[in-house]
Structure 1
Amino acid sequence: MDKFQELELRHPCFSKKAHFNKGRIHLPVSPLCNIQCKFCKRGFNKFEERPGVTRKILKPEESVEIVRKALELCPEISVVGIAGPGDTLATDDAINTFAAIGKEFPELISCLSTNGLELYNKAEAIAKAGVKTLTVTVNSVNPKTQKDIISYINVDGKKIIGEEAARILIDAQLRGIKKISELGVVVKINTVLIPGLNDGEIEEIAKTTAEKGASIINIIPLIPQNEFSDHRRPTCEEIEKARSDAEKYLKVFKHCKHCRADACGIPGKGVDISKLLYDIQVEETFSHG
């Protein structure tokens, strides 16, 4: 059994079987983001079921007790993930959290999600922290398309826009995927399907990222919000077409639940126990870095 097949048995975001009998906890320890995607709207609340939202920002030193409590509530948890609400590599909080979790709970799979801008630069630190699976959001490998998906990127405190920003991001993502794959970390690609923008590029995204070492892809239908609030959601037929295109090169995960940055529980059962882990009061502001 290879590494990917073994992970499939335990990772609810990698296989249908695990999705319905294994749990995951997302630790919302990443407060900042170094990119502004036009479809992304981050914030604090208790009710929205989507990426980018959380009840609070968790400090890395609080994470061990939160995971311990989560395991008491849901012993089926096999994965500790960090997916925001900002980018996990915009600060060192996620890497420091994984290092602490790995010492206390070595049996759990550590899973990190990132936009990939800092992936190449931090690949060794990620692997050293014990991360076993990593998700990179790649929405285009064409700068002319990517520039219409992102408003800007932030590199060393400098805001960069347009095709220059798109080229820098794509180059960083692809170099990062190759490097982290070579370090033994299993890579999944998340692609937000945006009708009329990147829907004709899914096969190219899958082919290019597979060549760099990715193993699986998840096609995420656009949630119309922020600058893309006037865009429509993709139809079921468009999603299936995108999955079919991607499947020529990568295994396709088809059970994504658009999880929050503080989600906890077995995703396939639709029960989120995160409300039992945190104080009921939510934070009111979000730093966009």
Structure 2
Amino acid sequence: MADDEYPTVEIGGEKIPYDPEQLRKINEHPCYSEKACHSAGRMHLAVAPKCNIQCNYCVRDFDCVNESRPGVCSEVLSPEEAIELVKKALSKFPYIKVIGIAGPGDPLANEETFETLRLLKEEFPTPIKCLSTNGLLLPESIDRLLEYDVGNVTVTMNAVDPAIGEKIYSFVEWEGKKLHGREAAEKLLSQQLKGIEMAVSKKMLVKVNTVFIPGVNDHHIIDIAKKAGEMGVFTFNLIPVIPQYKFKDIVPPTPKEKREMQDSCSPFVRQMRHCQRCRSDAIGKLGHDVQDCLYNKKD
């Protein structure tokens, strides 16, 4: 299937047609439609500072204006501050079609996420609601996300083999305990797979992000893509690792290596090839962010 064709989704061998609302959540979302990324914008609300896992490539920064990568923002907002920012953004930039929560921690590990979504549903019911997560708490959160009209969910899944996953995660916090090693990787993976399955079955549009880590999961990425496609994931986004934290000495893949990996994965799941690795407070069109004029309160 071509990347811009999506009349149906195949789940368990059965082709199921998308309904008009699902198609809107594809056609107006700049991450789900490469055409939309030229005309439609998104805004990320940085209301979720806490995270429940530690990835070996992740350094979160809550007072950062100089880096453009996931996990950083200029400031963490309260739900009420986030709503005021939405009002200001939509008045100045009416092309914004998507309101998302992507951190700087994991949205589902922060109750502020759900309060923000509740307020958004009350005051801004039309924009598409989107959320990014590591997936650990996704199964338990599906009903609340549906209640608040979240139709697009991104899950970062870096392995479908715990033997590889344990090399990527330092720990996973689960039911008040810190899990390490294989136990941590197994718990995270089981929750991710269960959550993705539930989300797809509820007609949510799912994107899987996979961090391309040479020497760690590069030989395994096609297996992740195959699994994503089998589960009915809408699109697959391959993100080159940024060398930092425990993976600071890893050499990231070249653009050519990334393209070749995407080509190898494309028979199994649609590829997102226009990702800009957005900050958790990004606002505007992909690659044309405008958040500075809002956070700096310029008119």
For 1:130 and 1:8, how far apart are their aligned partners in 2? 15
Tell me what 2:3 maps to. none
Alignment counterpart, residue 12 of structure 1, candidates 21, 26, 30:
30
Q: 1:192 aligns with which of 211, 214, 222?
A: 211
1:159 aligned partner: 178
Match of 1:90 in 2: 109
1:200 alignment partner, SS class:
helix
> Which of the numbers 25, 30, 48 marks the counterpart of 1:30?
48
Q: For 2:201, which of 160, 163, 182 is the aligned residue?
A: 182
Q: Deviations over 1:177-201 (max 9, x none)?
A: 0011112211000000011111111
Match of 1:42 in 2: 60
The 1-side partners of 2:296 and 2:53 are apart by: 29
The CA distance in 2 between the partners of 1:17 and 1:237, in whole Å, is 23
SS at match of 1:145: helix
**Partner amino acid, structure 2, of 1:272:** D
Aligned mates of 2:124, 2:206 — CA distance in 1:
22
Deviation at 1:213, TM superposition (A): 2.8
Percent identity reads: 42
CA drift of 1:124 comes to 0.9
How many residues align? The count is 278
Cα displacement (A) at 1:271: 2.5
Alpha-carbon offset, residue 210 of structure 1: 2.4
Which residues in structure 2 correspond to 1:243-262 (within 5 Å)?
Answer: 243-262=262-281
**CA distances 1:22-57 after superposition (whole Å, capped 9, x unpaired):** 100000000100000000000121111000001111
Q: In the aligned structure 1, how far is the partner of 2:214 from the partner of 2:120?
A: 39
**Paired position in structure 1 for 2:291:** 274
Give secondary structure in 2 for the equivalent of 1:31.
Answer: coil
Q: In structure 2, how many angstroms separate the alpha carbons of the residues matched to 1:93 and 1:208?
A: 32
1:1-38 Cα deviation digits (max 9, x unpaired): 62454333200111211111110000000010000000
Choose which of 116, 122, 129 in structure 2 pairs with 1:110.
129
Task: Return the structure number with greater relative CO, CA threshold 8 A, min gap 6.
Answer: 1
Q: Are the equivalent residues in 2 in contact too, given 1:25–1:77 (CA < 8 A)?
A: yes
| TM-score normalized with structure 2 length | 0.90
- 1:151 is paired with a residue whose SS is strand
**How far does residue 172 in structure 1 lie from its aligned partner after superposition?**
0.4
Superposition map of 1:52-131 within 5 A:
52-131=71-150
Judge conservation of contact 1:28–1:56 (CA < 8 Å) in 2: yes
Q: Is contact 1:52–1:261 with CA below 8 Å preserved after alignment?
A: yes
Query: Would the aligned equivalents of 1:25 and 1:263 in 2 still touch at CA under 8 Å?
Result: yes
- What secondary structure does 2:91 align onto? helix
Tell me, yes or no, if structure 1 residue 228 matches structure 2 residue 235. Answer: no
> Contact 1:51 / 1:260 at 8 angstroms: preserved in 2?
yes
- Contact 1:12–1:22 (CA under 8 A) maintained in structure 2: yes
Give 3-state SS (helix, strand or coil) of 1:54's partner: coil
Equivalent position to 1:173, from 184, 188, 192: 192
The residue identity in structure 2 corresponding to 1:14 is Y
Tell me, yes or no, if the aligned pair for 1:203 and 1:248 is still in contact at 8 Å.
Answer: no
State the AA in 2 paired with 1:84: G
* 1:208 match: secondary structure: helix
Q: Tell me which amino acid in the other structure corresponds to 1:278.
A: Y
Q: Structure 1 CA distance, aligned partners of 2:267 and 2:295? A: 42
Q: Counterpart of 2:252 in 1: which secondary structure?
A: coil
SS in 1 for 2:108: coil
**Following the alignment from structure 1 to structure 2, what is the Cα–Cα distance between the partners of residues 174 and 211?**
11
Runs of 4+ in 1 over 3 A off after TM superposition: 3-6
Give the C-alpha shift of residue 207 in structure 1: 1.6
Instruction: Give secondary structure in 1 for the equivalent of 2:107.
Output: coil
* Structure 1 unpaired stretches of 5+: 281-289
